[in-house]
């Protein structure tokens, strides 16, 4: 049974841990504010580009550009965006679980991984999976150049017929409390012409647009940029999600530390009171013995 000094040391240790978790929560909150501003600025551009590319693809034949052509083969490239550091709750766990479910559906032997983030690399390098590329994640401010390098690598593998499909898994930032792992197909691009025409008809908008010099040439120049922008957006979403998850996890850890300190303090007071009562009983017993 622990004594009073043991409980005192434990209370001090928990208080020190609580100071660390509170500091980490404040740092994560400051980083989250900047990351949220970045993703809110990038989302409209990425979504409009996706809408434009989908519109151009629907007006062009799949044979007009190799990034639109689907071979129907099973070889799949999967880009998984995780974090470099832990202490962010289930952020990385949910992404890895999503990746494993995807690999089970496609067949693990048919999936090659491109990993961004040390946590994903640490997990998958100990398993029997093919890793074609890996790099650390820059969660403070992801660079567009990093996204461009990854995009060129995946596009080269796709054009070299080493991959038949390319997908990306990342955590979409909803709020500081909610981050949703999503799977998005990057290559080959799948136009959603039917849904777009229906929405345009309902809103009464004209969908007739003239492209110069031609639809195919505009699409040819835009498609590689589209892949780069989508990967860059995923990096920004993941950075904001990581900071939100870490802020929530550290807040929960701080509250748990407060509960533990309260419980230990109560236990300490009870043991101290029991020791005082025992000493008083001994004094009284000794006093009574002297009277006799």
Question: What is the arrangement of strands in the sheet containing 76-81, beginning at the earlier edge strand?
Answer: 130-135, 111-116, 76-81, 165-173, 179-187
Q: How many residues does the chain have?
A: 292
Looking at the DSSP bridge assignments, the partners of residue 111 are: 76
Catalytic residues: 88
CA 148 from centroid of its chain's CA atoms: 19
Contact partners, residue 149, CB within 8 Å, separation at least 6: none
CA pair distance 47, 162, nearest whole angstrom: 28
């Amino acid at each position: 049974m622990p004594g009073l000094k043991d409980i005192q040391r434990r209370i001090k240790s928990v208080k020190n841990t609580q100071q660390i978790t509170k500091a980490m929560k404040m740092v994560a909150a400051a980083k989250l504010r900047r990351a949220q501003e970045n993703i809110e600025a990038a989302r409209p551009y990425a979504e409009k580009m996706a809408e434009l590319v989908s519109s151009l693809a629907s007006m062009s034949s799949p044979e007009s550009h190799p990034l639109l052509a689907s071979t129907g083969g099973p070889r799949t490239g999967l880009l998984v965006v995780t974090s470099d550091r832990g202490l962010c709750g289930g952020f990385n766990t949910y992404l890895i679980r999503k990746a494993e479910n995807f690999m089970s559906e496609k067949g693990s032997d048919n999936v090659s991984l491109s990993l961004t983030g040390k946590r994903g690399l640490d997990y998958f390098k100990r398993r029997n999976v093919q890793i074609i590329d890996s790099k650390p994640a820059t969660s403070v401010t992801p660079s567009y150049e990093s996204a461009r390098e990854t995009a060129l690598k995946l596009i080269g593998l796709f054009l070299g017929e080493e991959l038949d499909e390319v997908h990306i898994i990342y955590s979409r930032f909803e709020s500081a409390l909610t981050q949703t792992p999503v799977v998005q197909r990057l290559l080959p691009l799948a136009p959603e012409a039917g849904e777009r025409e229906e929405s345009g008809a309902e809103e009464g908008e004209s969908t007739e647009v003239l492209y110069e010099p031609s639809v195919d040439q505009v699409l040819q120049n835009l498609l590689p940029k589209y892949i780069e922008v989508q990967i860059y957006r995923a990096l920004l979403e993941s950075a904001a999600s990581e900071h939100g998850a870490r802020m929530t996890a550290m807040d929960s850890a701080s509250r748990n530390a407060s509960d533990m300190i309260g419980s230990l303090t109560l236990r300490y007071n009870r043991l101290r009171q029991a020791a005082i009562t025992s000493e008083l009983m001994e004094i009284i017993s000794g006093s009574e013995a002297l009277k006799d």
